[in-house]
Structure 1
């Protein structure tokens, strides 16, 4: 995966399960309100970050390619 990603967490949807932070501890952190946020808004493509997004129980994580903005997750239908 040689791409760069833009990573966003919809904090209005996030329930603070912590699954993302445990799946990709280098990619996500929980704040004192137990809301997730990406460690960096841009990052190298990562299997762990993708697994965290796919495993989010409320689909609060969105990943797009930095160049072009095409969705990585969730995929366009």
Structure 2
């Protein structure tokens, strides 16, 4: 399915906002707990979604999975 640039830009803004909220919430969660693990997985998924949207919008390559350790 194809989306307009405007639809992609709006989706990107929404995902980016949610990603920032998750990153902020992660600081308050204790590692090893279920909420922490779930939030880490959500952050990874949102970063992938943003990379895919960026690729669709401008044709750039998606970076690999480096940076997993910074969560």
Query: Larger strand proportion, structure 1 or 2?
Result: 1
TM-score (norm 1): 0.30
Higher relative contact order (CA 8 A, sep 6+): 1
Q: State which structure, 1 or 2, has the greater radius of gyration over its C-alpha atoms.
A: 2
The structure where helix makes up a greater share of residues is 2
